[in-house]
Amino acid sequence: MSEVSIDESLQRIIDEIVAPQAATVDAEGAFPRAAIDALGAAGILAVTVPAEYGGGGAGMDVAADVVRRLAQACASTAMVVCMHYSATAMLVAAGHEQAVRAIASGDHLTTLAFSERGSRSHFWAPVSTAAADGDEVVLNAEKSWVTSAHEADSYVWSSTPLAADGPMTLWYVPTDTPGLSIPSTFDGLGLRGNDSCPVTAVDVRIPATDLLGTDGTGLDHALAVVLPWFLLLNASASVGAMQALTAATRDHLAGTQLQHLGQTLAQQLPSRTRLAQMQIQSDRSRTLVEDALAAVAAARPEAVLLVLESKASADQGVAEVSDLAMVACGGAAFRKELAVERRFRDSRAARVMAPTTDALLDFVGRAMCGLPLLGDV
Ligand SMILES: Cc1cc2nc3c(=O)[nH]c(=O)nc-3n(C[C@H](O)[C@H](O)[C@H](O)COP(=O)(O)OP(=O)(O)OC[C@H]3O[C@@H](n4cnc5c(N)ncnc54)[C@H](O)[C@@H]3O)c2cc1C
């Protein structure tokens, strides 16, 4: 599929499905199934799958643009797709042909199952287990947050290793595997259509061939493969939200009269100043993400640092921009009609999605000082 036809299909899906359904997805906490099905049918869920497996063969820059544009309309849909592309990258890197061909067909949604009840946001230290039993592996886990938990077809799953040294091993786990259960539904502050639920595994048996990479090297893969995709796509979602918030605020300020003064809100200095701060923050995060994507593509030496910076910056940026929008648009933002309050609620998630902003600031400082990202300093 060419970039032009992706562009046209994506815009049609956003205009006809994602944007019109965003308020309902939020109000009802409903998974955006119609949008995901349409994105699958249009080849957009397969756009990053290499052409040799039947996918679109596109890179991270195209995926980041898809997620950014979805987030302008519906943050929940964008985050489901962000998780799908991040997990797909790992399945491609591991050469799991069955899974990758299924994703290329357009009707297979995947996601990341890293966070656990025991180690919480410290995804680099799973406490769940994997035990060898002949040709099978038995998984036991209490995953704390899995986006698309009920709706995905597969999870990219972390555990402690079978036998090797090292903190982590990764697995491909189809979601219909017996022993998996979802103990609760998602009723969150924001990203309410995400279906981000806990998932429990009790003696879940998968073929030993569903190992991704090698036993004990999961953290290396998580850091080298999954992390750049997740960080840059998550940051792109925040950029899309900032752009939508800034445009909505500009339109409200320009179109709202103070009748007794014969002036618009845009003619009031504090309103314009807030709008300017939003635009600057939005452009700052966007340019950082674009530079990080270029650095990754060119394998520039500072790529790792820029990737880490991108989500830390966008996490804080989207929180700040949504806060400014709530004040700049006043009471109108407090109601539903501008969708500012929805985006304000959605924007609270980025800082606590792992790696959290706290963890990223630590990682950035470590990278600058030549220290390992993880471990004792
Ligand atoms: C909407 C949503 C969707 C999600 N989807 C997924 C998903 O699909 N897959 C997945 O694997 N996970 C997912 N997560 C989980 C996410 O990645 C984090 O693991 C989770 O939000 C962390 O919450 P917690 O309460 O466990 O954090 P905690 O670990 O309890 O942390 C609470 C706070 O303390 C800070 N903190 C913790 N330890 C330290 C430290 N050592 N130094 C400094 N600060 C620290 C954290 O930064 C955080 O701000 C999702 C989360 C959300 C909110």
Contact call for residues 90 and 221 (beta carbons, < 8 A): yes
| Same domain (yes/no): 227, 253 | yes
Helix axes 60-73, 227-255, angle to 10 degrees: 40
Which of 215, 237, 272 terminates a domain? The answer is 215
Going from the Cα of 352 to the center of ligand 1, the distance in angstroms, rounded, reads: 5
Q: Which of 64, 66, 10 minimizes the C-alpha distance to 38? A: 10
- Ligand 1 pocket, residue 364 CB under 6 Å: no
Express as a percent the part of the chain with pLDDT over 90: 97
pLDDT at residue 1 in the model:
57
Q: Which atom of ligand 1 is nearest to the CA of 112?
A: 9
Q: Which of 140, 58, 61, 150 minimizes the C-alpha distance to 104? A: 58
The predicted model gives 101-109 an average pLDDT of 97
Q: CA-CA distance, 305 to 309, in Å (whole number)?
A: 6
Give the residue, by CA position, lying nearest to ligand 1 atom 51: 353
| Same domain (yes/no): 278, 337 | yes
The predicted model gives 352-372 an average pLDDT of 96
The values of phi and psi at residue 264, to 5°, are -90, 170
Q: Which of 123, 128, 116, 126 minimizes the C-alpha distance to 202? A: 128
Going from the Cα of 118 to the center of ligand 1, the distance in angstroms, rounded, reads: 12
pLDDT at residue 2 in the model:
58
Contact call for residues 205 and 357 (beta carbons, < 8 A): no
| Same domain (yes/no): 102, 197 | no
Q: Report the run of H or E that residue 30 belongs to, with start and end.
A: none
Q: Is residue 377's pLDDT more than 90?
A: no
Which of 52, 86, 109 terminates a domain? The answer is 109
| Most ligand 1 atoms within 8 A of CB, residue of 25, 316, 351, 356 to mutate | 356
Residue-by-residue DSSP string for 336-351: STTSHHHHHHHHTSGG
Residue 376: pLDDT band by 50, 70, 90 thresholds? Answer: confident
- Is-above-0.95 flag for pTM? yes
| Same domain (yes/no): 194, 136 | yes
Which of 109, 131, 154 terminates a domain? The answer is 109
Q: Which of 239, 74, 207 minimizes the C-alpha distance to 133? A: 207
Contact call for residues 167 and 125 (beta carbons, < 8 A): yes
| Same domain (yes/no): 126, 171 | yes
Q: Which of 4, 135, 38, 147 minimizes the C-alpha distance to 83? A: 147
CATH number, domain at 203? 2.40.110.10
> Does 353 map to a domain?
yes
Going from the Cα of 16 to the center of ligand 1, the distance in angstroms, rounded, reads: 34
The predicted model gives 125-149 an average pLDDT of 98
pLDDT averaged over the chain? 97
| Same domain (yes/no): 26, 162 | no
CATH number, domain at 35? 1.10.540.10
pLDDT at residue 128 in the model:
98
pLDDT at residue 129 in the model:
98
Q: Which atom of ligand 1 is nearest to the CA of 352?
A: 21
> Does 375 map to a domain?
no
Q: CA-CA distance, 236 to 314, in Å (whole number)?
A: 8
Q: 191 in the Ramachandran plot: left (φ > 0), alpha (ψ -120 to 50) or beta?
A: left
Name the residue range of residue 202's domain. 113-215
CATH number, domain at 251? 1.20.140.10
- Ligand 1 pocket, residue 196 CB under 6 Å: yes
Domain count across the chain: 3
Q: Which of 324, 321, 326 minimizes the C-alpha distance to 338? A: 326
Beta-sheet pairing, 129-133 with 136-146: antiparallel
| Same domain (yes/no): 343, 250 | yes
- Ligand 1 pocket, residue 21 CB under 6 Å: no
- Ligand 1 pocket, residue 347 CB under 6 Å: no
Beta-sheet pairing, 110-113 with 154-159: parallel
Q: Is residue 356's pLDDT more than 90?
A: yes
Q: What's the farthest any 2 CA atoms get from each other in the chain?
A: 81
Q: Give residue for tokens 């790992």.
A: 90
Cα 275 off chain centre by:
26
pLDDT at residue 375 in the model:
84
- Ligand 1 pocket, residue 292 CB under 6 Å: no
The predicted model gives 298-315 an average pLDDT of 97
The predicted-structure confidence for 15-61, as pLDDT tens digits, reads as follows 999 999 999 999 999 999 999 999 999 999 999 999 999 999 999 99
| Same domain (yes/no): 285, 361 | yes
Going from the Cα of 251 to the center of ligand 1, the distance in angstroms, rounded, reads: 35
> Does 10 map to a domain?
yes
Q: CA-CA distance, 212 to 99, in Å (whole number)?
A: 11
